[in-house]
Every structure is written in C-alpha cells, then in structure tokens.
Structure 1
Amino acid sequence: MDSELSGDVVVVGGGIIGMSTALVLARAGRRVRVWSREPPERTTSAVAGALWWPYRIAPEDRVGPWSLRSLRRYERWAGRPDTTGVRLVDGVHDGVRLDGLGAWAGEVTGLRDTAEGLAARLPLIDMRVHLAWLHDELAAAGVEVERREVRSLDEAAGVAGVVVNCSGLGARELAPDASVRPVRGQLVVVENPGVRTWFTSAEGGSDATTYFFPQPGGRLLLGGTAQEDDWSLEPDPAVAEGIVRRCATLRPEIAGARVVEHRVGLRPARPAVRVEREAGAAGGVLVHNYGHGGAGVTVAWGCAEEAARLVEESG
C-alpha cells in the first residue's frame, strides 16, 4: 500500500448506511470516496417507508444507543423538512406498549400508552429528498460518489488503506457472509385522501404488516410485507391488493385512493448487525457496517459514528 493512500477510505455501498458513514468520516478529516453499484435513488434505502423506529433489528443493547444517536440528528434536521426530507409526525404503533420496550424508549420524548396503542411523534423521512440532500452534503465535504460494480473488497483495498463495507445485501458475497438474507418489502403509493398521521401494526407469525405513512406532495405510502428469503423485485398485484385492503379497513377513505406507484425493496437482514473491524488486504484495515434489516434509517448515524470510531482506532 502506497503510504500516501494509507489514510484514504473507500466506502463500499451508496445507501443510507454508506452515505452516512462516508459523511461522518469526511467531516472527521478523512479523504473518502464512495463506490456504489446504484445511484442513491435506486438503492434499497430509496424504497424505505422510513419511520424512525427500531424494527426487526438486533442486538438490543447496541441498537438502542445507535437509534438514539440517529434520532437526535433527525430531530435537528426536521427543522428544515423541504431540504432534508425529515419531518416530525404523530402516529400510533398498534399492539406496542411502553413496558415491552428497551431502556432506549425512556429517552424518546412523548411516548405514551393509549387505548389505540403506543402514541408517538417521530421522524418520518422522505427518502428520495433525504438521499439527494445527503449526496449534496457529501459533495460539499469533498466526497466523490462513484458508480462502480465491486466484485471484491480487495479492489477497494488496492486504492485505500481503509475499506468500510456498507454493502447491505451485497455483503452476502463480498464479506462473504451467508447469514445476510433478504426480507422483501412491498409498498403501494397512493394519492393521499387526507390522512395526516402514521400507523403501524405487525401481525404476529405473518409476513404481512399494515402501515401507512403520509409523505409530502400529496402521497401516502401503504405497506407492507416482510417476506424472508424472497429475492423478487417485481411488485405482486395480489400482495398490493392485500396491502390496500388492510389499510382501508382502518381508514376507509384509502380504498378509493388512486394508486400512483408500486415499490419493492429487499431489506438486508442478519441475526445481528455487524459493525466491527478486522485486518484487510495488503496490510490495510477493513471495517464492516451491514445487516441492518428494516431499521437502517433508524440506526444509520449511530452505526456510522461507531464505524468511524473503529476507523480512527486503526490509526
């Protein structure tokens, strides 16, 4: 490794995890580039419903602090929703009670049990706006986001002393890590018939979930699914009909809303998130930051800060 490149960092992956990690590192003074197979608007992150909440993610003792560090950033950015895509919106988690949550819940202002479920005012993020804003923030910090198909982490190690693996589902081959699995999520976007609050409900033992999230521009995101080991990116019309039907049971006005878009994304699930450092190729350093499942937006900045700390500890 050329000594001039030993302090350089290549972040592999251009979704919310890769972009947040790259920005934290750049602002810490590192020379960073991002390699991403897809542009931000075509990553899995762009499909996310993006309500801040620790959902289907472990280990709890680390997820709580990661989530709270991310929450504080989103709360600040909610003051500029048109620019950042972040808003604070009221809603209810059906079937969730305060006493069933971890210690982290005590740090979230305004959580309260009601007859309808756990009421909260939480960050709800328009990911297409948010990812575009992060891309601009990276450019301002001197970070180049390069479209590149990465077939081996050794490719990145050949040009930088530090590689941060934020490849999501791609880590299954790149790490390689067979414990990384897809959890398919399908959404339906409709014209918002006047819904102003969000709602979520997960059906125990089922791959079906029910939620709706109001978004700017008169849109309402309806969901959803959590189909393990399903690699299909094609919207299923029958699944879409079921999503609309479940949401309309709760808000009848949704039944007649015009469908404007179908979305499908594959959440990069793992039994536990992997944020750790190991020796890389050619004497370099490799830091992993992947396996966030359906809560990547929720923990992104906490994980980014931890990954950056591991980079700095490497010298």
Structure 2
Amino acid sequence: MRLQGNPRVTVVGAGVIGLTTAIVLQEAGYEVEILTKALPPQTTSAVAGAIWLPFLARPVEKVARWSATTYFRLQAMAGAGVPGCAMVELQLFPAEDRLPPWAGLLPAGAIEALPADRLPSNCRHGWQVQAPMIDTPVYLRYLFDRFRENGGLVRLQTLEQEADFPLEKGWVVNCTGLGARALCHDEELYPVRGQLVKLMRREGLPFLVDERDLSVPTYVFSRQDAIIAGGTAEPNEWSTETDRGTIDGILERARRLVPALADLPVIGTLAGLRPARSTVRLERVPGTRLIHHYGHGGSGFTLAWGCAEEVLQLVREAEVS
C-alpha cells in the first residue's frame, strides 16, 4: 500500500543494490523511481559469481549484521521458489582456523566443520555452509520484474555530477557502485577486478570457495546454464577484458579442487569490477534527503537486503525527526 504524503524516492542505479533498495522502499509504501544508465543484465552485478558469502567488505560488525539479514531473506525466497535463488551445501576453505564473524548470526546447523577426509590436500580446516546461491542473470531479472509489477518506474539516464541528483523530487538513494567514484569524487572507491570462466554444465559437482589465498580466491558454482569457476581479486584494475594467463591459472586451481572439471569444455570467460572501499558507504548526507549506498566490494548480493533495510530506517528516522 502506498503511503499518503510521503515524498518520492529516486534510486540511482539498477544493480543488485539499487534494485533491492528500490523494492524495500516500494514495499514499505513509497513511490519509487529508478534512474540508471544500464538495465539488467548489462550491470556489473550480472557478472558476479554469486553465492552468499561476505567478501571484500567492511566494517566487519555491520557486514555480519547486514549479511545475516540478507541470508534469512534469501533463504525464505529460495523456499518460495523465487527464480535464480536456491539453498546449496557450500564447502568453504578459509584462511583462518576460526568461525567467521557472521557464523553466530545464522540458523542452528547452518555451518559445521568439515571432516578431514573432505578437505583438499594441504588444507587443515574447512566449513560446510548451508548457503543461498544466486544465478545472477535470472535473479536480477526477477528483481527488476518484481519492481515493475509493483508499479515502479524505470528511466534510462546518465548522471554526470552530484548536482544532477533530483533532490527536488524527494529522497535520492545513490546506488551507483563504482560509478560513484567520478559522480561523487570519492577517490576512496576503487575497482577490484574479478575474472571467471564458464564451463559446460554437469550435474552433481560441489559448490566450493577456497579463501586460503585471498589474492586468488578460487570458487566453483553451478548455474542453470553453466559451471562458473573463478576467480581473482585484482585491485585498481579497470579493464573488463580477461587475459589468457589468468584464465589458465583459474582453471588449474579449480581443476585441482574439482578434478571432474578437466573434462568440461570452456564456453566463455568474463571479467567484472567490484566496487571496493575501506568501508561500505551507507549514510545520509546531514541536512539533506540524499543517502549514499555503495562500496559493497564483492558482497553486493550478500549485503543487499540488510543494507536496503537500513536505508529504509534512515528515511523513516529523518521523516520523524
């Protein structure tokens, strides 16, 4: 139900952060319009892996809380049969032999220690996590359609400077990701390139993430159309082209963890730029109706619902103050 007397909210950006934020505000009763220079699947979000797992995002305490909120939302969506969303058994091989900071916020039994016979060679510890898995193009289309079916407006427009935010219409939520570096002159924001390989799909392969070397995180996921193997974490690399040497390295690492990949032909390669920052920027500019909401690193799908709920809280708090 649309709230009476509430100003319009303009969400700038249509990646997973922008779409999720728009839906949360819309379903709280606000009239929401999205301004974006690109539609799914042309956004950076469509290139992502993507599984629920915090990566390259801080501050740790807030990230744990936001990611837990998102976990429960995605778990419910998977149970309801939402397209592109499913719960899977993820094998996680971390850099440190201790529970992740978000572990205590998950449901009982959602994370358990892996027995030694299920660990790769030279790996001393690992976790099995009941994790939401996102088939990104399918899920982004679902979010976009959900927003539109609820009456949301979408307008293609490129903003050149912060002064272009349409604050005269009401609230503006800046979800421009890496674009905020130029738009808001935020030099603290920088790209972390991730490269991945698509292989012909085969049933029965494990879902796994190896974080023992965070400069070259290795993962293997199944999508509806392909097996996804990655990856890299290359700071300050702006190119969205893949390179042969890196792709070969990804395949070597992934096949070492999952030997069955050796028989699968490569059907494509992709590269995307994660919007990284020392901390996620989620704040209202004092005295204005502008909220900045970007810098989620490699955790956009993991933080989206939790961060969107915080945006809604910021709007509500400002309206009653």
Provide TM-score, normalisation by structure 1. 0.91
Partner of 1:41: helix, strand, or coil?
coil
Displacement of 1:6 after TM fit?
Answer: 7.8
CA displacement 1:65-89 (0-9 Å, x = unmatched): 11111111100111244x4210111
In the alignment, what sits opposite 2:256?
249
Would the aligned equivalents of 1:5 and 1:160 in 2 still touch at CA under 8 Å? no
Structure 2 residue 309 is the aligned partner of structure 1 residue 285:
no
Partner of 2:245: helix, strand, or coil?
helix
In the alignment, what sits opposite 2:103?
105
Where does structure 1 differ by over 4 angstroms across 4 or more consecutive aligned residues?
A: none
What CA distance in whole angstroms lies between the structure 1 residues aligned with 2:205 and 2:255? 15
Gaps of 5+ in 2: 120-125
Alignment of 1:299-310 (within 5 A): 299-310=303-314
CA displacement 1:59-116 (0-9 Å, x = unmatched): 01111111111111100111244x42101111211135673422x3123232111222
Displacement of 1:46 after TM fit?
Answer: 0.5
Would the aligned equivalents of 2:94 and 2:212 in 1 still touch at CA under 8 Å? no
In the alignment, what sits opposite 1:63?
63
In the alignment, what sits opposite 2:318?
314
CA displacement 1:251-309 (0-9 Å, x = unmatched): 222122111121111000000001100147xxx51101110000110010110010111
Alignment of 1:1-315 (within 5 A): 7-81=7-81, 83-95=82-94, 99-102=98-101, 104-109=102-107, 110=109, 111-114=111-114, 115=116, 116=119, 117-157=126-166, 159-204=168-213, 207-217=215-225, 219-279=226-286, 284-315=288-319
Q: CA RMSD in A?
A: 1.9
Judging changes above 3 Å, is the alpha-carbon distance between structure 1 residues 221 and 63 closer, same or farther for their aligned structure 2 residues? Answer: same
* Greater shift in the superposed pair: 206-215 or 263-272: 206-215
Would the aligned equivalents of 1:167 and 1:290 in 2 still touch at CA under 8 Å? yes
In the alignment, what sits opposite 2:122?
none
Whichever residue aligns with residue 285 of structure 1, its letter is R
Would the aligned equivalents of 2:207 and 2:222 in 1 still touch at CA under 8 Å? yes
What CA distance in whole angstroms lies between the structure 2 residues aligned with 1:98 and 1:137? 41
Partner of 1:50: helix, strand, or coil?
coil
Whichever residue aligns with residue 176 of structure 2, its letter is S
What CA distance in whole angstroms lies between the structure 2 residues aligned with 1:213 and 1:123? 12
CA displacement 1:197-248 (0-9 Å, x = unmatched): 21111243x631211001123x110000000000010111221111111111
Whichever residue aligns with residue 41 of structure 1, its letter is P
Displacement of 1:191 after TM fit?
Answer: 0.8
Partner of 1:302: helix, strand, or coil?
helix
What CA distance in whole angstroms lies between the structure 1 residues aligned with 2:220 and 2:255? 10
Gaps of 5+ in 1: none
What CA distance in whole angstroms lies between the structure 2 residues aligned with 1:250 and 1:25? 42
* Greater shift in the superposed pair: 226-235 or 6-15: 6-15
What CA distance in whole angstroms lies between the structure 1 residues aligned with 2:93 and 2:159? 41
What CA distance in whole angstroms lies between the structure 2 residues aligned with 1:193 and 1:80? 25
Judging changes above 3 Å, is the alpha-carbon distance between structure 1 residues 175 and 29 closer, same or farther for their aligned structure 2 residues? Answer: same
Would the aligned equivalents of 2:173 and 2:291 in 1 still touch at CA under 8 Å? yes
What CA distance in whole angstroms lies between the structure 1 residues aligned with 2:264 and 2:162? 46
What CA distance in whole angstroms lies between the structure 1 residues aligned with 2:83 and 2:97? 30
Whichever residue aligns with residue 63 of structure 1, its letter is V
* Greater shift in the superposed pair: 301-310 or 148-157: 148-157
Q: How high is the sequence identity, in percent, across the aligned residues?
A: 38
Would the aligned equivalents of 2:95 and 2:212 in 1 still touch at CA under 8 Å? no
Provide TM-score, normalisation by structure 2. 0.90
Judging changes above 3 Å, is the alpha-carbon distance between structure 1 residues 257 and 305 closer, same or farther for their aligned structure 2 residues? Answer: same
Partner of 1:293: helix, strand, or coil?
coil
What CA distance in whole angstroms lies between the structure 2 residues aligned with 1:99 and 1:207? 20
Partner of 1:225: helix, strand, or coil?
coil
What CA distance in whole angstroms lies between the structure 2 residues aligned with 1:39 and 1:28? 23
Would the aligned equivalents of 1:88 and 1:124 in 2 still touch at CA under 8 Å? yes
**How many residues are treated as equivalent by the alignment?**
305
What CA distance in whole angstroms lies between the structure 1 residues aligned with 2:167 and 2:282? 22
* Higher relative helix content: 1
What CA distance in whole angstroms lies between the structure 2 residues aligned with 1:313 and 1:301? 18
Displacement of 1:32 after TM fit?
Answer: 1.0
What CA distance in whole angstroms lies between the structure 2 residues aligned with 1:236 and 1:203? 23
